[in-house]
Amino acid sequence: MSTMSISELQRDLYNAEWDRTKLLARHDANMLYEHFEFEQQENPSFKFTFERDDDGRMTSCFWADMTSRKSYQNFGDVVVFDTTYNTNRYSLIFAPILGVNHHGQATLFGCAFLSDETTDSFKWLFKEWLKAMPARPPKMIITDQDLAMTKAIACALPNTFHRYCIWHILNKFSEKIGALPCKEHYDEFKKCIWSSESPEEFEARWADVVGKSKLSNNEWLQSIYKIRDRWILAYMKHIFSAHMTTNQKAEVSHSFFKNYVSQQNSLLDFVTRFDRALSLVRHNELDLDHKDVNEKPVLKTSWLMEKRMSEIYTRIIFYKFQEEIFQIGAYVVTIRHEDEHRCLWNVQRAEMEGSRCREVSIEKSSNLVSCSCKMFEFDGIPCRHMLAYLFRMQIRELPTQYILRRWTKIAKVGKVMDDLGSDGKEIFDSSVLVRRQSIFQFACKVIDDTILSEEGTQVLGEALQSAQKKIAVMRSSRKDGSASSIEVPISLGSQHSFKELLQVKAKGCGKRLKGGKEKAVKKSRKCNGCGRTTREKMVTFGDGDELSKITLGETFSNGMLLPDS
């Protein structure tokens, strides 16, 4: 094939792809709607909704599959919300709603496309999301300091504690207080923010470090101090947060999913690629479920409580609990005060100068144990101070009120009911991992029953050879294309008649706009031979008239002068 024919073929392929892109662009919203309709027909527990403007163009859409809804039922007490950009060719804002599962992994509760980041758009999303979820609103939601989000959450989730991400605030210190004060006092600010265990302690430390840094008049520090109850741990340790202090899980999830999608994707392309990535995430979760069932963690002590909790907690959570129980021998428990209502104990690390003394309180009427460090209330895992008290009282098994179901191996046991009242169909019931585990256990049982006799071994061997041949035939037929596959019926003449989507401009997408000075400064390329720039190397035509000068960086092509680029 000649060079010219290859070039023509490349051009034809490019033109064909361009024509296809333009054709699909006029029907992209309709195709996405029909795709979701098909998903709902296959599984009635799939939920979705679309919004359109007065011109008939899609402005927003929300969707959540069965697995997302079931995840919310099990782990929807804490939610992380953050938007991301550059995931599709229309620059629609992708808005996933996330949480954390019983393995400490990010888990999806639903997704949306939004055409803007206004309060009304966020209110619409939260209300549609709550309608689709099978449980009550979350206890806590973590976001950045977006004003529109804040207003929408106050309206749509009035009983949910709205917390700001500490990571986003800490990242602004250098910019807002200046490089030198940040370098000299940042560690003191961090210690004040992370180590304070009560509002009074935080306020005293904050006043001290602000005074030392001479930043009392800094407007940004004053503004974040006014909203300190939204992001300082000392003000919210009594509220369960699943050990999340930032929305970093959302940031990590965005980074992971962007390996599968690009800003050239149509909406249907995006959803298809996103589902592929999501399947991998969910498979990893099932892999950890499998390990929880079949692998036992190594114990560090001979205590019965540690052994019992290794059987109840997932491996990831058990290791956190194990670290707490392993430390209790280093603590001294002494009674401080007792009256008819409660008893107070001091728990302090022995032989460590300057160690903080924690207060463990026991309510006599309910026999409820709590600690001043608030780890159990905040993380859902008993702290070493509570455990030290329990061992002091010779309580060898952890009382059930201190075991959160969401951290256990049985956290996902249960069903989600669809709108018709029937059991929801779990998408991942037929996953590779579940099928492998089931067939593996069955095969082990059959092998154990047959290896005791030669006759049984021969029967099993013949049966396996027969099954192997049938599977080979089945795989061969699939390669020939005779196997059935599910395809989404897409008709370009959709009855929903969404008009062609337009490009939207969100505040977080696109390239940074350059100022006038940046536009004026253009770096010139240097010659590899003499090292001079193209502006310095001039070729003079004719009599040397300045208007006839061009640079060596300019080239001729097809009789036209092309500028250096």
Q: What is the DSSP letter of 313?
A: B
Q: How many CB atoms lie within 10 A of CB 471?
A: 10
Helix (H, G, I), strand (E, B) or coil at 140: strand
What H or E segment, with its residue span, contains residue 78? strand 78-81
CATH top-level class of 304-407? alpha beta
Task: State the maximum Cα–Cα separation within the chain, in Å, rounded to a whole number.
Answer: 109
Equal CATH topology for 31-165+242-286 and 304-407: no
Question: Letter for the amino acid at 4?
Answer: M
Residue-wise pLDDT tens for the chain (565 aa)? 555 566 666 665 655 555 555 555 567 888 889 999 999 998 899 999 999 888 888 899 999 999 999 999 999 999 999 887 777 778 889 999 999 999 999 999 999 999 999 999 999 999 999 999 998 999 999 999 999 999 999 999 999 999 999 988 998 998 999 989 999 999 999 999 999 989 999 999 999 999 999 999 999 999 999 999 999 999 999 999 998 877 666 666 767 777 777 777 888 888 888 898 899 889 999 999 999 988 899 999 999 999 999 999 999 999 999 999 999 999 999 999 999 899 999 999 987 777 889 999 999 998 899 999 999 999 999 999 999 999 999 999 999 999 999 999 999 886 555 553 445 544 344 345 456 656 766 777 777 777 778 888 888 888 888 888 887 777 666 444 433 333 444 444 445 676 766 676 666 554 444 444 444 444 445 555 555 554 444 433 334 433 333 333 333 333 333 333 3
Provide the 10 A C-beta neighbour count for residue 74: 20
Written as six digits, the tokens of 239 are: 């509220």
Domain residue ranges in the chain: 31-165+242-286, 168-230, 304-407
DSSP 1: -
337 near 344, Cβ under 8 Å?
yes
Measure the CA–CA gap between 528 and 549, rounded to whole angstroms. Answer: 21
CB–CB of 176/218 below 8 Å? yes
Assess contact for 77 and 102: CB atoms under 8 A. Answer: no
Q: Could you give the 3-state DSSP secondary structure of residue 422?
A: coil
Topology classification of domain 31-165+242-286 = Nucleotidyltransferase; domain 5 (3.30.420)
Q: Is 218 in a helix, a strand, or coil?
A: coil
For the entire predicted model, the pTM comes to 0.73
**Which residues fall within 8 angstroms of residue 48, CB to CB, at 6 or more apart?**
36, 39, 40, 61, 62, 63, 64
Give dist(CA 174, CA 182) in Å, integer.
Answer: 5
